[in-house]
Amino acid sequence: MIGLPMTDTAPTDIPPSAQVTLPDGRVEIAPGAPQPSGPYANEDLLPVPVGGRTWTTYNFSALWVGMAHNTASWTLASGLVAVGMDWKQAVFTIALANLIVLVPMLLTGHAGPKYGIPFPVFARASFGVRGANLPAVVRALVACGWFGIQTWIGGEAIYFLAGKLIGGSWSDAARIGGHAWTMWLSFAVFWALQVAIIHRGMETVRRFENWAAPFVLVGAFVMLWWMSSKAGGVGPLFDQPSRLGWGGDFWRLFWPSLMGMIGFWSTLSLNIPDFTRYGRSQRAQTWGQALGLPTTMTLFAFLSVLVTSGSQAVYGKPIWDPVQLAAKTDNVAGLLYALVTVLVATLSVNIAANLVSPAFDFSNLAPRKIGFRTGALITAVLAVMILPWKLYSDPQGYIFTWLGLVGGLLGTVAGILVADYWLLRRTRLDLADLYRAGGRYWYAAGWNWRAVVAFLAGGTLAIGGADFHPLIDGRPIPALEPLADYGWAVGLGASMVLYVALTFASGRDRYRV
CATH (domain of 184) = 1.10.4160.10
- Return the pLDDT at 399: 54
348: Cβ contacts below 8 Å, ≥ 6 apart: 66, 67, 69, 70, 208, 209, 212, 213, 216
Residue 168 has a pLDDT of 81
- Candidates 84, 406, 58, 81; CA nearest to 206 is 58
510, part of any domain: no
Question: Does 16 fall in a domain?
Answer: no
Kindly state whether residue 177 falls inside one of the protein's structural domains: yes
Could you report the average pLDDT of every consecutive run of 10 residues in the chain (513 residues)? Answer: 38 56 92 88 92 92 78 71 76 89 94 95 96 92 85 86 82 89 94 83 65 72 80 63 69 80 79 93 94 86 78 75 73 75 78 82 88 88 87 60 69 95 94 93 95 96 79 78 83 95 74 35
Would residue 392 count as lying in a domain?
yes
User: Residue 180 pairs with which residues in a beta bridge?
Assistant: 175
- 155: left (phi > 0), else alpha (psi -120 to 50), else beta? alpha
Whether 338 maps to a domain, the answer reads yes
**Is the residue at 29 inside a domain?**
no
Domain count, the chain: 1
476 belongs to a structural domain: yes
pTM: 0.83
User: Residue 125 is part of which domain span?
Assistant: 47-505
Q: Are 442 and 7 in contact (CB under 8 A)?
A: no
Q: Kindly state whether residue 372 falls inside one of the protein's structural domains.
A: yes
